[in-house]
Structure 1
Amino acid sequence: MGQVVDRTTFSRRDRQRYRIKVQRCLDTLGDLLSSYPFSDTEPMTGVEIEFNLVDPELAPSLNGSDVLDTINSGEWQTELGRWNLELNLPPRPLPGDQWRQLEHELLDLLAGAGAKAGDLRTQLVMIGILPTLDPGHMTAEAISPEDRYEALNDQMLNARGEPIRIDIAGCSPEERVNADFDTIIPEAACTSMQLHLQVSPANFGRYWNAAQCLAGVQLGLGSNSPFLLGSQLWSETRIPLFEQSCDVRTPEFHNQGVRPRVWFGERWIDSVLDLFSENARYFPALMPLTSDVDPATQMRDKGFPDLPELTLHNGTIWRWNRPIYDSTGDTPHVRLENRVLPAGPTTVDMVANALFFYGLLRTLVEADQQLWRSVSFEAARENFQTAAKHGMHAPLYWPGTGWVLPDELALRKLLPLAHEGLARWGVSGAVCDRYLTVLERRCVTRQTGSSWQIDTVAALEARGADRMSALRGMLERYLAHSTANQPVHTWEIPG
């Protein structure tokens, strides 16, 4: 939700007008999808990466605004927490060696930003959840001082009517987080990599369905968030943490089956319009800001509408695979936003995760036997939850194979399919080999960012360190490996 918000309170009339306007936008989008000549141009991709900021003691640093001013680049922006920043990389084509260039550009950007942050005694960390967070950091004062965050916090808490409850159980009874928060600041603990792919509206349904099938595999191979507030919880704890920190339902509404705003979904779709229609039907407005522009009139005059109410509403519903409508530039487009993966551990690992996803999407979408016709939606959702809990040790259901672990599934079936899909996109052979080999070696060693964190903390505790000292020691080693851009499968566990 990156729109400018200049109000923090809303009336009943505001909500009524907004609902009418969202429906007007939805009707206009339906007309646009049936009549506008969307082009099938070179596939465009985009990446957003969220970062944590730490001080010299590796605790969260709340100087995000100062670091942002020092970096002084339009590619960087604030996030909900003062210890967060977000990097938005410019869109780029998928074919050729573009993503090899992206790795180099990202390393250069991080080196430059890191040097400037260092002048403020701050380091940038790419990790799903900062392991040195403690309850004392999770306060209202840690929310970034911008109207949109204040409004979002107020509206979500007003909708819920009681504190945010975080209750996540780990691998043993003593490993558990069960706490109430008077703000939505736990959401700021979740830092991710978001992948965008522009697709034609006619193909969007197939791409979204394929992405839903892959969500469990992505988490199984890419988890990087095992610790929260000192406890070892899920392999990708960011999943339940984000779901709970944005849950505006009371327990009673939850028991009634009211849909959550962080949502995997409940069915396969045929069209991008299916998702936007569900948004309008199921979710009340959080930020009911209306413009004076009539979308149908704008479509007649301009050729296509901006649909600000629909896009703002969509930005307050956090699907793990989210539809995006965008009208920046001379033409409108739709794209798939994949929100499944955590940030980190390294630039090379993130590029490998991205290309594995893009390659598999292409192959699955073009397969004669559509995968989602052979598996229930409930099985895809269960794969997602199981992988979030168990990572590389999660038994996943895959049509034609049955129950299989993520590493075995990737080595036997998915890596060759990803290679084939990238070739169809026009990605160079050298790029395919470099990054898919990273995934292959991760599968062979069975070492993800999450498993390395767990094993390293266990090794440091075995030496006599308490949990928080072990977490700081682990994070110190993590930062050194991550900065060196050494893929996570090569990271050693302390002896």
Structure 2
Amino acid sequence: MGQVVDRTTFTRRDRQRYRIKVQRCLDTLEEMLREYPFADSEPMTGVEIEFNLVDGDLAPSLNGRDVLETINAEEFQTELGRWNLELNLPPRPLPGDEWRLLEHELLDLLAGAGAKAGDLRTQLVMIGILPTLRTDHMVAESITPDDRYRALNDQMLNARGEPIRIDITGNGGSERVAEDFETIIPEAACTSLQLHLQVAPADFGKYWNAAQCLAGVQLGLGANSPFLMGSNLWAETRIPLFEQSCDVRTPELRNQGVRPRVWFGERWIDSVLDLFAENARYFPALMPVTSEIDPMTQLREHGAPALPELTLHNGTIWRWNRPIYDVSGSEPHVRLENRVLPAGPTTVDMVANALFFYGLLRTLVEAEQPLWKTVSFEAAAENFTTAAKHGMNAPLYWPGTGWIRPDELALRKLLPLAHEGLARWGVSGAVCDRYLTVLERRCVTRQTGSSWQVDTVAALEERGLDRPKALYGMVERYVAASAANVPVHTWEIPD
């Protein structure tokens, strides 16, 4: 939710007007999808990366605003937590060597930003959940002092009517986090890699369905968030943490089947309009800010409207694969935003994860027999949750194969399909080989960011360190290896 919000309180009339306006935007979008030309040229991609800021003790540093001012680069912006920043890279084509250039650009940006942050005794860390985060960091004072964050916090808590409950039990059952929070600050603990792909509106349904099929595989191969507030929980603890920290439902509403605002979904779709219509049908407004512009009038008299109410509402519903409507210049477009992956461990690992995803999308969308026609939506959702819990060890269901671990599935079937898809996109062979080889070696070694963190902490504890000191030692090693940009499958476990 990156739109400017300059209000923190809303009336009943505000909500009524907003509901009407969202529906008006939806009607306008429906007409546009029938008759209006959308961008449909070369495949454009975008990347957002969320960072943690740490101090000299590798604990969360709450000086995000100061770091942002020191970096002084338009690509960076604040996030909900004062220990977070977000990096938005400009859109770029997918074909050719663009993503090798993206790796270099990202490394240069991080080196420059890291040097400036260092002047404030702060480091940037790309990791799904910062392992040194403690309960005493999760307080109201840790929220970035910005109207939109304050409004979001107030509206979500008002809708829930009681504290935010985080209750996650680890896979072995011996470790658990069960805490109540008076703000939505636990959401700030989740930092992710967000991948965008602009697609033709007529093809959006197929791309979203394919992305949903791949979500479990993405998590299994890319997990990087095993620790929360000192406890070893899921391979990708970020998934249940984000779901719970943004859950405005009371237990009674959950029992009634009310949909969560962090949502995998419940069915395959035919059109991007299906998702926006679900947003309007199922979810009450959190931030009912209404403009005076009528979108239908703007469409007929001035061209493509911004549809601000529709896009703001969409920004308060956190689907793991989210539809985006936007206007660049005077040309509207739709894109798929994939929010499944955690940040890190390295730039090269994130580029490898991205290209694996983009390549598979193309192959699955163009397959003679669509994958989502041969598997139930419930199975795709179960794959997602199972992979979040177990990472590389997750038993996933895949049509034509049955139950299989994600590393075996990638080695036997998916990596060749990703190669084929990237070639269809026009990605150079050298780029395909560089990054998909990283994925291949990760599967062969069966070492993800998550498994490396768990194994390293276990090794340090065997040396006699307690959990806090073991986490510190692990994060210290993580930061050094991440900065060196060596793929996580090559990271060593301490003896």
The TM-score range, normalised by the shorter chain, is over 0.9
2:266 aligns to what SS in structure 1?
A: coil
Letter in 1 for 2:332: P
2:323 aligns to what SS in structure 1?
A: strand
Question: How far 1:303 sits from its partner (Å)?
Answer: 2.0
Question: For residue 11 of structure 1, what is the aligned residue in structure 2?
Answer: 11
1:264 corresponds to 2:264: yes
1:175 corresponds to 2:175: yes
Q: Deviations over 1:212-251 (max 9, x none)?
A: 0000000000000000000000000000000000000000
Question: For residue 446 of structure 1, what is the aligned residue in structure 2?
Answer: 446
Question: For residue 280 of structure 1, what is the aligned residue in structure 2?
Answer: 280
Which ranges of structure 1 fall in alignment gaps of 5 or more residues? none
1:117 aligns to what SS in structure 2?
A: helix
Distance 1:63 1:280 in 2: 37
1:164 corresponds to 2:193: no
2:131 aligns to what SS in structure 1?
A: coil
1:488 corresponds to 2:488: yes
Letter in 1 for 2:216: G
Length-normalised TM-score, structure 2: 1.00
Letter in 2 for 1:140: A
Letter in 2 for 1:104: H
Question: For residue 217 of structure 1, what is the aligned residue in structure 2?
Answer: 217
Distance 1:302 1:368 in 2: 41
Question: How far 1:327 sits from its partner (Å)?
Answer: 1.2
Question: For residue 313 of structure 2, what is the aligned residue in structure 1?
Answer: 313
8 Å CA contact 2:395, 2:405 repeated in 1 = yes
8 Å CA contact 2:130, 2:228 repeated in 1 = yes
8 Å CA contact 2:39, 2:332 repeated in 1 = no
Distance 1:265 1:27 in 2: 22
1:5 aligns to what SS in structure 2?
A: coil
1:102 aligns to what SS in structure 2?
A: helix
| Counterpart mapping for 1:129-140 below 5 A | 129-140=129-140
Distance 1:40 1:292 in 2: 30
Question: How far 1:328 sits from its partner (Å)?
Answer: 2.9
1:166 aligns to what SS in structure 2?
A: strand
Distance 1:103 1:302 in 2: 39
Question: How far 1:39 sits from its partner (Å)?
Answer: 4.0
Question: How far 1:36 sits from its partner (Å)?
Answer: 1.0
Question: How far 1:452 sits from its partner (Å)?
Answer: 0.1
Q: Deviations over 1:91-136 (max 9, x none)?
A: 0000000000000000000000000000000000000000000001
Question: For residue 24 of structure 1, what is the aligned residue in structure 2?
Answer: 24
Question: For residue 405 of structure 2, what is the aligned residue in structure 1?
Answer: 405
Distance 1:239 1:39 in 2: 33
2:328 aligns to what SS in structure 1?
A: coil
Question: For residue 327 of structure 2, what is the aligned residue in structure 1?
Answer: 327
| Counterpart mapping for 1:229-308 below 5 A | 229-308=229-308
Distance 1:208 1:367 in 2: 14
Distance 1:173 1:393 in 2: 17
8 Å CA contact 2:171, 2:389 repeated in 1 = no
Question: For residue 430 of structure 1, what is the aligned residue in structure 2?
Answer: 430
Distance 2:186 2:17 in 1: 31
Question: For residue 362 of structure 1, what is the aligned residue in structure 2?
Answer: 362
Question: How far 1:141 sits from its partner (Å)?
Answer: 0.1
Letter in 1 for 2:414: L
Which ranges of structure 2 fall in alignment gaps of 5 or more residues? none
Question: For residue 63 of structure 2, what is the aligned residue in structure 1?
Answer: 63
Distance 1:317 1:185 in 2: 17
Distance 2:318 2:56 in 1: 33
Distance 1:330 1:120 in 2: 41
Question: For residue 146 of structure 1, what is the aligned residue in structure 2?
Answer: 146
Distance 1:428 1:41 in 2: 19
Question: For residue 53 of structure 1, what is the aligned residue in structure 2?
Answer: 53
Letter in 1 for 2:287: M
Question: How far 1:304 sits from its partner (Å)?
Answer: 1.4
Q: Deviations over 1:19-42 (max 9, x none)?
A: 000000000000000001224200
1:57 aligns to what SS in structure 2?
A: coil
Distance 2:162 2:5 in 1: 24
Question: How far 1:174 sits from its partner (Å)?
Answer: 3.3
Question: For residue 187 of structure 2, what is the aligned residue in structure 1?
Answer: 187
Distance 1:363 1:223 in 2: 23
Letter in 2 for 1:25: C
Q: Deviations over 1:286-339 (max 9, x none)?
A: 000000000000001122111000000000000000000001312000000000
Letter in 2 for 1:295: P
Question: For residue 476 of structure 1, what is the aligned residue in structure 2?
Answer: 476
1:51 aligns to what SS in structure 2?
A: strand
Q: Deviations over 1:53-74 (max 9, x none)?
A: 0000000000000000000011
Question: How far 1:372 sits from its partner (Å)?
Answer: 0.0
8 Å CA contact 2:64, 2:78 repeated in 1 = yes
Distance 1:224 1:38 in 2: 37
2:341 aligns to what SS in structure 1?
A: coil
Question: For residue 99 of structure 2, what is the aligned residue in structure 1?
Answer: 99
Identity percentage of aligned residues: 84
1:46 aligns to what SS in structure 2?
A: strand
Question: How far 1:173 sits from its partner (Å)?
Answer: 3.6
8 Å CA contact 2:227, 2:237 repeated in 1 = yes
Distance 2:484 2:413 in 1: 31
Distance 1:174 1:368 in 2: 47
Distance 1:303 1:150 in 2: 34
Letter in 2 for 1:432: C
Letter in 1 for 2:462: A
Letter in 2 for 1:196: H
2:340 aligns to what SS in structure 1?
A: coil
8 Å CA contact 2:325, 2:332 repeated in 1 = yes
2:342 aligns to what SS in structure 1?
A: coil
Question: For residue 123 of structure 2, what is the aligned residue in structure 1?
Answer: 123
8 Å CA contact 2:303, 2:330 repeated in 1 = no
Length-normalised TM-score, structure 1: 1.00
Distance 2:298 2:343 in 1: 38
Letter in 2 for 1:88: N
